[in-house]
């Protein structure tokens, strides 16, 4: 399998963690978002929306959207499960994942920040606000059912979404002091080899430049 990805893309990072947890070996093919490679015809043939990640299977089938890829991985490589089977736990894990996937990340991705610039807005202040608001809500939503991880004591799709979002939060200077539930779960994730191997700094296209 190949994963078309960008080192700092949150969605790419989530899928890298999932692949590592499942013990699957893939070839990472970098797509440079800063050079707009994702919008070129080559990549649009893989992803009509011009996005990363794309997981290409051995037979050439291409899958898009990080949470759809996680569902496919869980269905085809069940161990360890990333989506709880019990219906309420599943709904809780999925709700937390969507708070990040649909509620925070889309509002602070590169294309929206570019549009904010073009309108004369303050991209950094915008990003700080949407991430802070989302993370405060995420912690409140997680509190009743969190354990070592966001849903109980096993890693789930919610943790895959949390870790890249906290990395982005720090890049935007979001205050995290009162979000210790989230940062403690992050620290537990960071201790796991799968999360370590999936970190942006370990990717072939990682650079030292600030973007």
Among 63, 162, 163, 166, interactor with a second copy by CB under 8 A: 63
- DSSP assignment, residue 189? H
Angle at 201 between CA 190 and CA 70, to 5 degrees: 60
Among 134, 155, 156, 166, interactor with a second copy by CB under 8 A: 134
The pattern of x and - marking residues 2 through 41 that bind a second copy according to CB under 8 A reads ----------------------------------------
CB-based burial of residue 48 (10 Å sphere; 0-12 exposed, 13-18 middle, 19+ buried)? exposed
54 bridge partner residues: 4, 64
76 makes contact with a second copy (CB under 8 A): yes
- Contact between 138 and 96 under an 8 Å Cβ cutoff? The reply is yes
- Contact between 37 and 43 under an 8 Å Cβ cutoff? The reply is yes
175 makes contact with a second copy (CB under 8 A): no
Among 25, 42, 48, 153, interactor with a second copy by CB under 8 A: 48
Interatomic CA distance for residues 23 and 79, integer angstroms: 9
Cα 172 to Cα 7, 13, 128, 182, 211, distances in angstroms: 17, 18, 5, 17, 11
107 makes contact with a second copy (CB under 8 A): yes
179 sits in which H/E element: none
- DSSP assignment, residue 48? T
Among 37, 64, 152, 199, interactor with a second copy by CB under 8 A: 64
Q: How far is the CB of 98 from a second copy (least distance, A)?
A: 4
> Cβ closer to a second copy: 125 or 184?
125
- DSSP assignment, residue 107? G
61 makes contact with a second copy (CB under 8 A): yes
| Binding piece for a second copy, criterion CB under 8 A, among 138-146, 164-172, 174-182, 191-199 | 138-146
> Cβ closer to a second copy: 87 or 193?
87
Sheet containing strand 27-30, edge to edge, reads 27-30, 2-5, 54-56, 62-64
Q: How far is the CB of 193 from a second copy (least distance, A)?
A: 26
Interatomic CA distance for residues 4 and 31, integer angstroms: 6
Binding positions for a second copy, rule: CB under 8 A: 48-51, 61, 63-65, 67-69, 71-72, 75-76, 87-88, 90-92, 94-95, 97-99, 101-103, 105-107, 112, 115-116, 119-121, 126, 133-134, 136-138, 140-141
């Amino acid at each position: 399998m190949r994963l078309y990805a960008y080192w700092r893309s949150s969605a790419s990072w989530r899928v890298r963690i999932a692949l590592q947890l499942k013990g699957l070996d893939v070839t990472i093919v970098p797509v440079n978002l800063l050079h707009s490679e994702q919008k070129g015809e080559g990549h649009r043939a893989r992803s009509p929306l011009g996005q990363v990640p794309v997981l290409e299977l051995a037979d050439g089938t291409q899958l898009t959207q990080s949470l759809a890829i996680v569902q496919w991985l869980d269905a085809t490589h069940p161990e360890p499960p990333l989506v709880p089977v019990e219906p309420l736990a599943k709904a809780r894990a999925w709700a937390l994942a969507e708070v990040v996937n649909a509620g925070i990340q889309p509002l602070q991705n590169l294309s929206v920040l570019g549009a904010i610039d073009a309108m004369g807005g303050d991209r950094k202040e915008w990003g700080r606000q949407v991430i802070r608001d989302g993370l405060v809500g995420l912690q409140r939503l997680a509190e009743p059912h969190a354990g070592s991880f966001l849903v109980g004591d096993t890693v789930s799709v919610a943790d895959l979404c949390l870790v890249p979002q906290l990395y982005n939060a720090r890049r935007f200077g979001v205050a995290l002091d009162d979000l210790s539930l989230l940062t403690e779960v992050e620290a537990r994730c960071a201790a796991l080899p799968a999360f370590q191997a999936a970190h942006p700094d370990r990717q072939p296209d990682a650079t030292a430049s600030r973007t």
